């Protein structure tokens, strides 16, 4: 097994970060490397790898492996014993927000060969994905009062007109 890992502080609570990771609509909003279709329960789902300048990006069947709210989320795809990729998000409470450990695990006969060829690119893509998640959560927290319907009401609201 070969593992590529990044760690960063994400603004907001682990629960808010967790929701951005597993909610399909929120995942699409922050554009992670791997786009999953509704990873809300353990089992089979679909993935698409987001690569720049690819007309038809790699896609296929994936398996959601771990859903421990709000601590760990992981999923995997590939051909068992040949090359399997597992993406793991581990969340911990931190005074400044959420400490996020984001990693890719490569297993199988081709794992070392693939990682040797693209390690630097995958590490960069993980960091970019974490940055997009962080920016999305900052933007989302700025939108929360309006999204929750907490707008100021009119002083006449609720009064009968004469």
Is 24 a domain residue? yes
What is the span of the domain harbouring residue 113? 2-143
CATH of the domain at 75: 3.30.530.20
Q: Is 125 helix (H, G, I), strand (E, B) or coil?
A: helix
Both tokens assigned to 38: 């509704």
Is 85 a domain residue? yes
Cβ distance 20 to 137 under 8 Å?
yes
**pLDDT tens digit sequence for 26-51:** 988 998 888 888 788 898 988 887 76
Is the pTM higher than 0.85?
no
Is 71 a domain residue? yes
| Structural domains in the chain (count) | 1
Is 161 a domain residue? no
Is 152 a domain residue? no
Is 151 a domain residue? no
Which are the contacts of 10, defined by CB distance < 8 A and separation ≥ 6?
Answer: 17, 97, 98, 99, 100, 130, 133, 134, 137
């Amino acid at each position: 097994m070969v593992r590529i890992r990044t760690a960063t502080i994400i603004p907001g609570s682990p629960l808010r970060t967790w929701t951005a990771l597993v909610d399909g609509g929120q995942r699409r909003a922050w554009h992670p490397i791997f786009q999953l279709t509704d990873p809300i329960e353990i089992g089979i789902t679909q993935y698409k790898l987001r690569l720049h300048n690819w007309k038809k990006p790699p896609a296929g069947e994936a398996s959601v492996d771990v859903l421990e709210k709000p601590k760990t989320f992981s999923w995997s795809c590939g051909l068992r014993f040949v090359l399997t990729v597992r993406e793991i998000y581990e969340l911990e409470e931190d005074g400044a927000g959420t400490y996020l450990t984001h990693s890719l695990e490569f297993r199988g006969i081709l794992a070392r060969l693939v990682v040797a060829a693209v390690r630097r690119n995958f590490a960069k893509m993980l960091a970019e994905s974490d940055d997009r998640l962080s920016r999305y959560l900052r933007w989302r927290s700025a939108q929360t009062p309006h999204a929750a319907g907490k707008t100021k009401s009119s002083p006449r609201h609720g009064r009968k007109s004469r």
